Structure 1
Amino acid sequence: MKIQWSLILGLVFALITAIFAVINVNAVEVNLIFGVVNVPLILLILGSTLLGGLIVGSYGIYLQYRLQRKLKLAQAQLKQVQDATGYVFPEANTTEQAQQDSTQHKEI
């Protein structure tokens, strides 16, 4: 459901940006470090939006990668503790145990 809302909001934002860009088609001066460039405002708006989307997307991918690394490290530490102590947390076998419990209840 979260993906659907983010897709809808993304489309609404894209529509608003496109309308705003089409309304502003005048050429503007952009001061760069090495000089001044005349660029249509529509290209400047769309380029800025695209660059912002790329930056946000890259940051999101980086955060996802970092969280996956932390999860793998935590799982390795959990396995190490379980091997050292011989104790298995109840949450670790929930799917296997739930399947066994459901088959036992069906037999009774």
Structure 2
Amino acid sequence: MMKRFVLVLSLTLATGAHAETVADVWKAKCAMCHGADGKAQTKMGQKASIGDMSRPDWQKARADAELREVIAEGAPRNRMMKPFKDKLTPAQIDALVGYIRTFKAPSGP
């Protein structure tokens, strides 16, 4: 499983005339609301009551397929989360799902 995360983090995505890493995509498209660390401690994150992606219960409650769908189609319960299917490729969406999984706080000692 860790190898998959390392692969996703090191994945370079071709977009237009230049290449972006998944971290670049996160910073450009997601961090404004979700924060650099996925904790949503941003002005927009607090306004929209966005969940903390680093919490184990948040991570466990969401399957990868659900995360892909929310990124692609938007969030039905939060109209501020717009669909990205026309702005991101399927590979970028998959990479973001893997990136979100890296926010999981380590469990216990």
Rg bigger for which structure?
1
TM-score, L = length of structure 1:
0.25
Tell me which protein shows more helix as a share of its residues. 1
- Higher RCO (CA-CA < 8 Å; seq separation 6+): 2
TM-score, L = length of structure 2:
0.25
